[in-house]
């Protein structure tokens, strides 16, 4: 709901009035651990169906949940300016990961986080946790977990300043592709809606997440795979400097492949061309991962 209100406010600032259509996705109601049979589109299919059924004209997603497979019915009309990409280690008393007792229970619903946590602290018991931020915090408060891992972006957006947490460094915990960004979809055959929503597109964020999501797509990872990536686009008046760091791990955290890459190109009026160059960088990184044996690590996580 925060995301929908945020997009509505941004559109209103552009002179476009909207009506909110609250929806409940399968990912919101099904609290079973996400496994290889049911992960794709768990949080997005219901919202996309609202576009198909003309129930809504604009779909707002957490971009990290949006499948990378192209669907010709929809257009990713905008990627709003990104919030922080870091993950937070949340406890009742502000302990860091190193402070936690041996064998303590840590909750996360992300295979990517599981792999990186186990790499840092193989002694911990990492257990699945589902639900919204408030639900997860209540499970922490009840003593079900000694700690949980949450995206810092969600805590900031909900203004949960009193939640005691320690931010992971990017060396410790790389984010999911698209983490911290909002993906705004519209129907492909609605040029008026597309034009209105495209005003919210942040080009630097679009370039960054394009590189990250291209790596994920090229490796056929899906959101279950232990794949992490973070790209940054630094833009001047005439130049774009794009960097990316990506990581593929075994679920037990014992095997790790890591790649870094960069690209430099003109900042010009050819936005499509710039996005294509960002995707090219992602494909280059994915090719390196394949050569290093990443597909075996990804398959072992299914």
- How far does CA 151 lie from the centroid of its chain? 9
Residue pair 28/40 in contact (Cβ under 8 Å)? The answer is no
CA–CA dist 93, 82 (Å, integer): 29
Nearest-CA neighbor of 124 among 93, 145, 102, 92? Answer: 102
CB 87 within 8 A of CB 222: no
Q: Starting at the edge strand that comes first in sequence, how are the strands of the sheet with 105-107 ordered? A: 125-127, 105-107, 147-151, 87-90, 165-167
Give 73's contacts (C-beta < 8 A, 6+ positions apart).
Answer: 48, 51, 52, 187, 188
- Residues taking part in catalysis: 65
DSSP code of residue 239: E
- What single string gives the DSSP state of each residue in 222-235? TTTS-EEEEEEEEE
Could you give phi then psi for residue 57, rounded to 5 degrees?
A: -105, -20
| Sign of the dihedral through C-alpha 179, 134, 58, 153 | negative
For 118-159, strand residue ranges (E) read 125-127, 147-151
């Amino acid at each position: 709901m925060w995301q929908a209100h945020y997009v509505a406010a941004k559109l209103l600032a552009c002179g476009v009035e909207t009506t909110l259509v609250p929806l409940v996705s399968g990912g919101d109601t099904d609290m079973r651990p996400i496994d290889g049979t049911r992960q794709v589109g768990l949080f997005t299919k219901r919202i996309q169906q609202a576009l198909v059924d003309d129930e809504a004209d604009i779909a707002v997603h957490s971009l990290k949940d949006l499948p990378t497979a192209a669907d010709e019915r929809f257009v990713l009309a905008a990627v709003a300016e990104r919030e922080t990409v870091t993950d937070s280690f949340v406890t009742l008393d502000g302990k860091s990961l190193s402070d936690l007792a041996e064998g303590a229970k840590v909750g996360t619903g992300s295979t990517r986080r599981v792999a990186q946590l186990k790499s840092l602290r193989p002694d911990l018991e990492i257990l699945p946790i589902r639900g919204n931020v408030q639900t997860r915090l209540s499970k922490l408060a009840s003593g079900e977990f000694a700690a949980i891992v949450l995206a810092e972006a969600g805590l900031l957006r909900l203004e949960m300043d009193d939640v005691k947490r320690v931010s992971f460094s990017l060396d410790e915990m790389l984010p999911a592709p698209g983490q911290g960004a909002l993906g705004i979809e519209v129907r492909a055959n609605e040029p008026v809606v597309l034009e209105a929503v495209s005003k919210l597109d942040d080009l630097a964020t679009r370039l960054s997440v394009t590189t990250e999501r291209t790596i994920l797509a090229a490796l056929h990872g899906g959101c279950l795979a232990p794949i992490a990536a973070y790209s940054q686009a630094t833009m001047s008046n005439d130049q774009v400097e794009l960097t990316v760091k990506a990581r593929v791990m075994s679920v037990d955290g014992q095997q790790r492949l890591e790649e870094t890459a960069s690209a430099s190109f003109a900042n010009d009026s050819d936005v499509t061309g710039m996005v294509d160059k960002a995707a090219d960088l992602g494909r280059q990184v994915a090719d390196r991962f394949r050569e290093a044996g990443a597909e075996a690590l990804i398959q072992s996580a299914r």
